[in-house]
Structure 1
Amino acid sequence: MPLRHFLTLCFVLASPLLFAQQVEVEEFKFPAHKTSVKIPFKLVHNLVVIPVNINNSKPLNFVVDTGVETSLLTEIGRDDSIILNNVRPLSLRGLGKGESIQAMNSSGNRIHFSGIEAKGQQMLVLMENIFSLSTRLGVEIHGIIGYTLFKSFVVEIDYKHKILTLYKPGTYPDKRLKKASRLPLTIENAKPYVDAQITTADGVKHPLRLVIDSGLSTTMLLYLPSIPVMKVPQPNIDAYLGRGLNGEIHGRIGRVESLQLGTFTLRRPPASFPDSISIQHALNLKNRNGNLGADILQRFKVVFDYQNSQMFLTQNSKYNDPFFFNLSGLEIITPIPGLNYFTVSDVLPNSAGHKAGLQRGDALLSIEGVNCATKTLEQILYTFQSKPGRKIKLEIRRDAATIKTTMYLNDVI
């Protein structure tokens, strides 16, 4: 059911008294006698996904995003139901080339998960499913939660073991920080900022101020006009970088020689450089040089302590893994989330997928002789990102024809 139709239904069902009632905003609270709660999460495209209940809804899948101030309800599944309180329209702006988008602001809601709850919570509801998160991530995604979570707790994200642990402020065990590196944070407008430094191939060091953005699945998004004398590294490629609130984000991708983050040095990570039109609203802020994403964060155990303006990093087994950029050159989606049916939504020019003859709209039937219906999107992406030079036999369907081809994975940057 389209989101706009579903919301109309909910507004009819919601009590008129709820719209007029002023509900006091509460902080998230632990169950009695608890100082911490562990939440297993799904790690999809480097993104942390946890179950969240809104009012009396069933558990909904929310991406944990440090870059988001107000919780977002991005899409509602065909079989889902939710009642939202105190609703009014508004317009939103963000990254992307398009115009502002229409949304609804809902207040006075109860958000609860794993025994933790808060009342009087604000929720923004997008009137169009602009992100298509379920289609792109291969699992049903309903929304995004951010600052409301991080401001209430010390938050530990263990990417290796896929456990998110929330601690009551002041109760985080010091012994868990013995091997950690501390980085100062600045919290401005509900967003965490960290100082970092990149070094380019010419040896020039560029200090950066970055938003820590756990909802960005890649490494870095850098705003070139805000970084003096820097140019897009060579070689680089044109690429679709993702989707912001106001439309698609396009730009170029190239490697920097290193990223210095506290005491850690990460070698040759790719960086995305959105074009000036895509970031015009972000540039008006003049307080940052870009975003630090989850392909960096997932190489650590990360502890966020907003109340004391600090974060702690402990490297995990992924720390020294090389940064490969889209070795297949394919963007794969699931047109029907929950159904193991995969199609190609984009093909990078001169990439492995392009050279193998794949086209937008092709459906994947088998990989190395294994039926794709037995695979998840994450498994397919893992295969396509395994190592440069790997030979992969594919069977695809294009219109009514079945085509066999061979793809040789290649890093185009």
Structure 2
Amino acid sequence: MNRFFLSTTMLIGVILAVSGCTTFKAISVMNGGRPISGNVQSSEIPFKIKGEHMIIVPVKINNSDKQYNFMLDTGAITVVSKKIATKLNLPFGVEIVARDSTGGTKQMQLINLDSLQLGEMIVAECATGILDFSEVGGKLKNRNLEMDIDGLLGSNFLRYFKVIIDYKNKKLHLSNEMKPTVTKDGGYKIKFTTNMQMGYAPRIECTIDNNTKAYGIIDTGAPFLATLPLSLVEKTDAYKFRQVVKAKGNVWGAAFKASENNSLLRVKNLKMGALVINEIPVISLPHKHILIGKKFLSKFLVTLDYPSQMMTLTPYDKLDFASNIYSFGTIVNKDKEGKTVIVGFWEGSSADKIGVEIGDELVMINDKNINELSPIEVENIYYNDNINEIEVVYRNKSGLHKVKATKEMLLPPL
């Protein structure tokens, strides 16, 4: 059973509101960008996977000799960390309001870089946000300490190219060629649209449970399989048959805000074009779109032909998606004092049954001192399918407690 990883995801939205004459300036900056790749028709770039899902690629800023580590994020605009922007003495820009996948907002500087280069492909005057990454994650921001990236390479850069993401061989291919992608046997062609306000992120038409329509964002910057807007939960078969699991506390965080009132459920099917995926677990978010992340995309050779606005998904193998989540059901984080505390868990999970509460401090897991483990490493234990039982020592107001917890499925059986 594949694990379902609940973590923080990066920037999703773009311009929500700007005031006065800055509106025109912001739109002008966002519309900026022109490819200047000369006679170069294509470029292949090896990438690394960092953590659970982050595609890391080497990028040059303003013709720099140094290469910077950017996360490829089709669900975001391009962003440079404030730390790197300061080192490069990047200018101040127009102030905008950016939005994440939970609806959290933050003011951000928006500028046009002289140039941004990935492999041999260059975009001049590329719109770029400047963001303090130390503030990313809201209440769950400490979970991002391992991120250690210099920026995000978003769809406003990628929109000039045909982009092929080869998860299996860890290669990224960008090209200027306008030839249509040939669909191999078993492949799926799905039309998408883009718009400036969503940072040119690919948006596709989806159908949930055969009759509920919604838009989905192709989001390489997200670790999950898929999410569901909160507004659609009550329209699902799972809700009708009372098979929705509610969260206590915070089980999901985005760039600027931790999400609350989340639910976990299994949708009967998710349809996009001719592709239909049956009985998959999704988490609800206060976002108006479905978000389709790495757990889904990595099953395919993904081609995003931005100029033609066509996505081609070619399965590597026979498609097999988990229909349930095998877990202890707990989400942890470091507090201000550096303690590892429980910040959320799923109702009815093993964690709920043994009586843990929000704010309880974890002391040991399987005889390992918790101070030696990051929150991500703790969840790697929780969601490792080969670990069925753990022994936990935790502390609350009544003292130390030592308990054994057995991993269980979070959703009702089919």
- Do the structures match in fold with TM over 0.5? yes
Q: Deviations over 1:384-407 (max 9, x none)?
A: 2234981134567889x9875433
Show the counterpart of 2:405. 407
Matched residue, 1:112: 117
2:270 alignment partner in structure 1: 259
1:165 corresponds to which residue? 173
User: Is 374-383 or 40-49 further displaced after alignment?
Assistant: 374-383
**What secondary structure does 1:301 align onto?**
strand
Give me the whole-angstrom Cα distance separating, in 1, the residues matched to 2:215 and 2:111: 32
Provide, for residues 296-343 of structure 1, a one-character-per-residue CA deviation record: whole Å limited to 9, x for no partner. Answer: 22222211112112111122358314144471222245789xxxx993
Indicate which of 32, 48, 58 corresponds to 1:51.
58
The Cα shift of 1:151 comes to 0.8
Cα distance in 2 between the residues matched to 1:168 and 1:345: 48
In structure 2, C-alpha distance between the alignment counterparts of 1:334 and 1:301, rounded to whole Å: 36
User: Within 2, Cα distance between the matches of 1:111 and 1:342?
Assistant: 40
The alignment covers a number of residue pairs equal to: 366
Letter in 2 for 1:409: K
Q: CA deviation at 1:74?
A: 5.1
CA distance in 2, matches of 1:124, 1:290: 24
Aligned to 1:343: 340
Q: Provide the residue aligned with 2:129 in structure 1.
A: 124
Displacement of 1:245 after TM fit? Answer: 5.8
Change (3 A) 1:320 1:52: same
Are 1:242 and 2:266 matched, yes or no? Answer: no
Q: Match of 1:322?
A: 322
Is 2:108 aligned against 1:103? yes
Higher normalized contact order (CA 8 Å, seq sep 6+, divided by chain length) = 2
Q: Does 1:209 align with 2:220?
A: no
Q: CA deviation at 1:28?
A: 4.2
Counterparts of 2:86 and 2:364, CA distance in 1: 30
Residue in 2 that maps onto 1:183:
190
Q: 1:54-98: CA deviations, max 9, x gaps?
A: 344854443322222x31235648x98332134233333455466
* In structure 2, C-alpha distance between the alignment counterparts of 1:377 and 1:159, rounded to whole Å: 25
What is the TM-score with the length of structure 1 in the denominator?
0.71
SS at match of 2:87: coil
- Find 2:95's aligned residue among 74, 89, 101: 89
Alignment partner, residue 269 of structure 1: 280
Is residue 221 from structure 1 mapped to residue 221 from structure 2 by the alignment? no
* Separation in 1, partners of 2:342, 2:80: 24
Q: Which structure 1 segments of 5+ residues have no match?
A: 1-21, 283-288
Q: What pairs up with 1:260-299 in 2 under 5 angstroms?
A: 260-274=271-285, 278-279=286-287, 282=288, 289-299=289-299
* Helix, strand or coil at the partner of 1:268: strand
Cα distance change on mapping 1:157 and 1:394 into 2, 3 Å: farther
1:374 & 1:160 partners in 2: Cα distance? 32
Distance 2:385 2:335 in 1: 27
Cα distance, 1:104 vs structure 2 = 1.3
Residue type at the aligned position of 2:389 = K
SS in 1 for 2:117: strand
Summarize deviations over 1:79-122 as a string: whole Å, max 9, x none. 98332134233333455466x42221222343233343333222
Distance across 2 between alignment mates of 1:309 and 1:33: 22
The Cα of 1:194 is off from its aligned counterpart by 1.6
Q: Which moved more, 1:110-119 or 1:355-364?
A: 355-364
1:193 and 2:191 equivalent? no
Letter aligned with residue 150 of structure 1: L
For 1:10, the equivalent position in structure 2 comes to none
The match for 2:148 among 126, 140, 145 is: 140
Q: Secondary structure at the match of 2:124?
A: strand
* Structure 1 CA distance for aligned equivalents of residues 360 and 82 of structure 2: 23
CA distance in 2, matches of 1:232, 1:80: 49
- In structure 1, give the amino acid aligned to 2:109: M
Report the secondary structure of 2:148's partner residue: coil
Indicate how the Cα distance of structure 1 residues 226 and 334 shifts in structure 2: closer, same or farther if over 3 A, else same. Answer: closer
* Preserved CA contact (<8 Å) 2:361 2:394: yes
The answer to whether the 8 A contact 2:36-2:124 is kept is: no
Query: Root-mean-square deviation (CA), in Å?
Result: 4.1
Tell me the CA shift for residue 140 of structure 1. Answer: 1.2
Contact 1:43/1:162 (8 A) holds in 2 = no
Distance 1:227 1:382 in 2: 28
* 1:85 aligned counterpart, secondary structure: coil
Q: For 1:119-151, what per-residue CA distance to the aligned partner results, in whole angstroms no more than 9, with x for missing partners?
A: 322211235713269843533134322212321
CA distance, structure 2, for counterparts of residue 257 and residue 331 of structure 1: 26
CA distance in 1, matches of 2:371, 2:86: 25
Identity across aligned pairs (percent)? Answer: 17
Kindly indicate whether the alpha-carbon contact (under 8 Å) linking 1:40 and 1:50 is maintained by their aligned counterparts in 2: yes
Instruction: Structure 2: state its 5+ residue gaps.
Output: 1-28
Alpha-carbon separation, structure 2, partners of 1:75 and 1:397: 38
Distance 2:165 2:328 in 1: 29
On the 8 A contact 2:223/2:294 being kept in 1, the answer is: yes
Distance 2:324 2:51 in 1: 17
Give, in whole Å, the separation in 2 of the partners of 1:342 and 1:262.
Answer: 47
Cα deviation, 1:148-183, whole Å, max 9, x if unaligned, reads: 232122111122333222223336874x74542211
* TM-score normalized by the length of structure 2: 0.71
